[in-house]
């Protein structure tokens, strides 16, 4: 074929060859870079080869293979994951939590095989996500999650983006090979990614495993390609076209096929050998760059594996010894005090850095002063640190033998000289609280944390402002309260320095534009999100929801009669208790006082009764009880609260409720509402989230309760919800579905 008319100047045959050559070359360099850490060419040279391949694939689209190295950047987003039945079930593995259990396990192997020596391999248990990779004729056919062990989700497009997953296996590949292994993130890459996410205002992950699992569920492979996932093989499933006699043999095959094998690997045939390997691995694993949480012991011979067989969902030929969470001793250099959103002072242990479970730890939370006193933690102490699975470490206990003679008991107030470490304002402990607090509304530490709360995902969800951005905005004087965010010019944001003066790093135009856009959207977020975002003490998400049901918008909330009455009732009830002639801690001195107090008591009782009748129609749920009401009103009555409202007016922001239901019961009492006086309990999976049904029922005069009793009228049940269904039936409570509910509303 003449080649002159094709864009690349190649005939189809030539292109086929060239594409194959470039693919193999690129995959080789991939391996050298990611697997062997020994690159032979520069990034630039790699990019040139990559681009050449891309061009050829564009010119000859029918020659482009889904397993081309160009596909590692991620293809088109997908709708959802198909399911696939595993050709060989993906079993789980029995855990051994103590060395005695390892002894029993090995003795059982000896007994069942009738041999004194049982050759086994010992290898790390990687704390990642299990995956099955099926290769046919040397090409990756599909990748699947473990799922329930029988069927899993097909995640091929996502897995292709992982550089250490080979897309082709070369000429030594068996006809069919199912590689089993783990997908994970290295400690370092995980920490870096979390930091970057935080800077971009995205949610951070608790640990590398959660992060890997979350990433594999993404429906956009291009996003997956940006995450630092890795793969290591530790087993095989389906195998056709060759025989493998042992774990050792497939370990060798992995190496030959350039599939990253699980290492290090120990061989042993005695109990002593197994225990030695477990101890050696425990030493080694702390220096490995990813999380491991155990040692897997496997019978080496596949024939012996078959003899031993399975028990329910786990094989008898393998077990995982789980290491106890690592604990390390270190010196607690000092205790520093952090100031939270509401001014609460939290003590933090500043540690001599120690390497624990794969990361360097230099801080641990001490929760509050009471906890410090309970554990008697002092500055200069040697303490035991533990990191149990999660990333935030804890101080387990103090090693008092190593306490310096001059170590003084910790006293928070003295420690900070009675001043807030952020603003220097006075600190106080409120009656009945364990925490010290700074009450200065202008305190910068509080400002930063208020902004963090305001922008968080469950509040106004302002993507792009993470912890570091929030800190810098306050530090550079661009914001001292959340509403300031709405007035920072985009140009100013774009040049915000997130680094230091010596080593500047600007926020950038793209990020600034994104923030401005999400702020625009935040203006129209519903009232409940706004209430929650304000970060008022005691006002959580469920309180916010109830408050937004009771009020049309934020301005109505600020001057709410219902809340004032709720607060008033609580105050009067406290007073009533105090003056009661039957108050044992303050008994009346004589008969005269007794009668006077009885009179005052009766008056209060009447007043309380009147107020209760007044708000009764609103059926305020305990979510917005006296504590919430008082906290909210005291904010709106404060100077800070007044400023907040007038700023909102200036900014022309009017947060409005999306579930406002005025006085349901009053209307219900007049018989206008169809569900008047009826009590519902909701269970199971319905077509919409449960809070929506709750709002609907309440807006029609009904009540919704959390548990079934003989006073329940109806159980609204979706799919599932077994135990409540059983209870309803035993109490003869009517069980209805969505259709029946809708019929009742008509």
Stretches 86-94, 327-335, 462-470, 650-658: which one binds ligand IVH (CB under 6 A)?
86-94
Beta bridge partners of 184: 230
Q: CA of 39: how far to CAs of 225, 250, 263, in Å? A: 20, 27, 21
**CB of residue 317 to ligand IVH, shortest distance in Å:** 8
* Contact with ligand IVH (CB under 6 A) among 57, 178, 182, 300: 182
Q: Which is nearer to ligand IVH, 130 or 339 (CB)?
A: 130
Helix (H) or strand (E) holding 83: strand 83-85
* Contact with ligand IVH (CB under 6 A) among 32, 41, 78, 93: 93
- Binders of ligand IVH among residues 139 to 178 (CB under 6 A) are 146
Cis peptide before 264 (omega within 30 of 0): yes
DSSP-assigned states of every residue in 570-602: HHHHHHHHHH-TT-TTS--SSHHHHHHHHHHHH
3-state secondary structure of 340: coil
- Binders of ligand IVH among residues 216 to 275 (CB under 6 A) are 234-235, 262
Stretches 90-98, 220-228, 339-347, 459-467: which one binds ligand IVH (CB under 6 A)?
90-98
**CB of residue 235 to ligand IVH, shortest distance in Å:** 5
Residue of this chain nearest to ligand IVH (CB atom): 130
**CB of residue 229 to ligand IVH, shortest distance in Å:** 15
CA distance 557 to 539: 13
Q: Which of 627, 625, 621, 626 is nearest to 704 (CA)?
A: 621
**CB of residue 250 to ligand IVH, shortest distance in Å:** 12
User: How many residues of this chain bind ligand IVH (CB under 6 A)?
Assistant: 15
As a dihedral over the C-alpha atoms of residue 735, residue 737, residue 739, residue 745, rounded to 10 degrees, the angle is: 60
**Residue 73 near ligand IVH by CB under 6 A:** no
Stretches 55-63, 73-81, 85-93, 561-569: which one binds ligand IVH (CB under 6 A)?
85-93
Stretches 1-9, 121-129, 163-171, 455-463: which one binds ligand IVH (CB under 6 A)?
121-129
Stretches 78-86, 123-131, 560-568, 596-604: which one binds ligand IVH (CB under 6 A)?
123-131
* Contact with ligand IVH (CB under 6 A) among 126, 165, 335, 438: 126
CA distance 375 to 388: 19
* Contact with ligand IVH (CB under 6 A) among 29, 72, 125, 567: 125
* Contact with ligand IVH (CB under 6 A) among 123, 300, 381, 471: 123
How remote is the C-alpha of 700 from its chain's centroid? Answer: 37
Kindly state the tokens that stand for 158. 């996502």
| Orientation of helix 187-199 relative to helix 467-475, angle to 10° | 50
**Residue 57 near ligand IVH by CB under 6 A:** no
Query: Do 701 and 735 touch, CB atoms closer than 8 A?
Result: no
Q: CA of 335: how far to CAs of 345, 362, 445, in Å? A: 12, 12, 17
**CB of residue 176 to ligand IVH, shortest distance in Å:** 19
Beta-strand runs (E) in 570-718: 679-683, 703-705, 714-717
* Contact with ligand IVH (CB under 6 A) among 130, 253, 278, 668: 130
For residue 334, report the phi and psi dihedrals to the nearest 5 degrees. -160, 165
Q: Which is nearer to ligand IVH, 216 or 479 (CB)?
A: 216
Q: Which residue has the tokens 């995640």?
A: 155
Catalytic positions? 125
CA distance 706 to 683: 9
**CB of residue 309 to ligand IVH, shortest distance in Å:** 12
| Orientation of helix 561-579 relative to helix 591-615, angle to 10° | 160
**Residue 209 near ligand IVH by CB under 6 A:** no
Binding site for ligand IVH (CB under 6 A): 91-93, 123, 125-126, 130, 146, 182, 234-235, 262, 296, 315, 318
């Amino acid at each position: 074929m003449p080649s002159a008319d094709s864009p690349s100047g190649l005939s189809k045959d030539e292109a086929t060859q060239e594409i194959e050559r470039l693919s193999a070359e690129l995959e080789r360099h991939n391996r050298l870079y990611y697997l062997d850490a020994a690159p032979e060419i520069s990034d630039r040279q790699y990019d040139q080869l990559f681009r050449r391949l891309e061009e050829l694939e564009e010119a000859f689209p029918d020659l482009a293979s889904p397993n081309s190295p160009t596909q590692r950047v991620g293809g088109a987003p997908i709708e959802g994951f198909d399911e696939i039945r595993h050709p060989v079930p993906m079993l789980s593995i029995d855990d051994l939590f103590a060395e005695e259990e390892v002894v029993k396990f090995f003795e059982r192997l000896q007994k069942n095989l009738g041999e004194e020596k049982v050759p086994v391999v010992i290898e790390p248990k990687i704390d990642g996500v299990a995956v099955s990779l099926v290769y046919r004729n040397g090409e990756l056919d599909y990748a699947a999650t473990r799922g329930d062990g029988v069927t899993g989700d097909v995640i091929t497009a996502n897995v292709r983006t992982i550089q250490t997953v080979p897309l082709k296996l070369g000429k030594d590949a068996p006809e069919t090979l199912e590689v089993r292994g783990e997908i994970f993130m290295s400690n370092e890459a995980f920490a870096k990614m979390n930091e970057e996410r935080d800077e971009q205002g995205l949610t951070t992950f608790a640990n590398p495993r959660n992060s890997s699992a979350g990433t594999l569920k993404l429906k956009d492979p291009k996003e997956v390609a940006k995450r630092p996932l890795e793969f290591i093989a530790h087993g095989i499933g389906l195998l056709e076209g060759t025989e493998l006699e042992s774990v050792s043999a497939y370990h060798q095959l992995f190496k030959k096929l350039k599939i990253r094998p699980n290492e290090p690997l120990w061989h042993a045939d005695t109990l002593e050998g197994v225990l030695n390997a477990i101890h050696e691995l425990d030493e080694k694993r702390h220096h490995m760059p990813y999380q491991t949480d155990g040692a897997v012991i496997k019978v080496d011979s596949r024939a012996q594996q078959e003899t031993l067989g399975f028990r329910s969902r786990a094989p008898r030929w393998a077990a995982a010894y789980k290491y106890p969470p690592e604990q390390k001793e270190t010196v607690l250099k000092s205790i520093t005090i952090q100031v939270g959103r509401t001014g609460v002072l939290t003590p933090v242990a500043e540690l001599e850095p120690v390497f624990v479970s794969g990361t360097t730890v230099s801080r641990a939370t001490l929760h509050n002063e009471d906890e410090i006193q309970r554990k008697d933690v002092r500055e200069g102490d040697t303490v035991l640190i533990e990191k149990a699975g999660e990333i935030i470490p804890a101080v387990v206990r103090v090693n008092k033998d190593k306490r310096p003679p001059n170590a003084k008991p910790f006293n928070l107030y003295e420690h900070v000289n009675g001043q807030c470490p952020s603003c220097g304002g006075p600190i106080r402990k409120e009656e009945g609280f364990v925490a010290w607090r700074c009450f200065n509304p202008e305190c910068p530490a509080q400002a930063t944390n208020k902004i963090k709360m305001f922008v968080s995902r469950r509040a106004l969800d302002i993507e792009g402002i993470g912890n570091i951005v929030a800190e810098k905005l306050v530090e550079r004087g661009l914001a001292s309260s959340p509403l300031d965010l709405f007035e920072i010019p985009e140009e100013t944001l774009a040049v915000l320095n997130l680094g230091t003066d010596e080593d500047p790093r600007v926020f950038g135009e793209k990020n600034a534009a994104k923030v401005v856009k999400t702020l625009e959207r935040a203006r129209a977020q519903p009232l409940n999100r706004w209430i929650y975002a304000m970060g008022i003490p005691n006002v959580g998400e469920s309180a916010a929801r109830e408050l937004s049901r009771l009020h049309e918008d934020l301005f109505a909330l600020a001057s709410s009669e219902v809340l004032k009455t709720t607060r008033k009732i609580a105050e009067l009830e406290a007073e009533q208790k105090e003056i009661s002639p039957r108050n044992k801690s303050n008994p009346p001195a004589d008969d005269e006082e007794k009668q006077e107090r009885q009179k005052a008591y009766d008056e209060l009782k009447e007043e309380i009764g009147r107020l209760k009748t007044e708000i009764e129609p609103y059926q305020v749920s305990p979510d917005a009880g006296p504590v919430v009401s008082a906290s909210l009103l005291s904010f709106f009555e404060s100077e800070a609260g007044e400023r907040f409202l007038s700023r909102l007016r200036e900014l022309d922001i009017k947060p409005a409720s999306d579930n406002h239901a005025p006085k349901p019961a009053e209307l219900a009492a007049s018989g206008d509402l169809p569900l008047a006086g009826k009590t519902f309990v909701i269970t199971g999976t319905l077509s919409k989230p449960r809070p929506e049904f709750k709002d609907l029922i309440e807006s029609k005069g009904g009540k919704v309760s959390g548990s079934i009793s003989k006073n329940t009228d109806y159980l609204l049940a979706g799919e599932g919800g077994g135990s409540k269904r059983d209870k309803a039936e035993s109490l003869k409570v009517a069980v209805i579905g969505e259709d029946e509910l809708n019929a009742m509303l008509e």
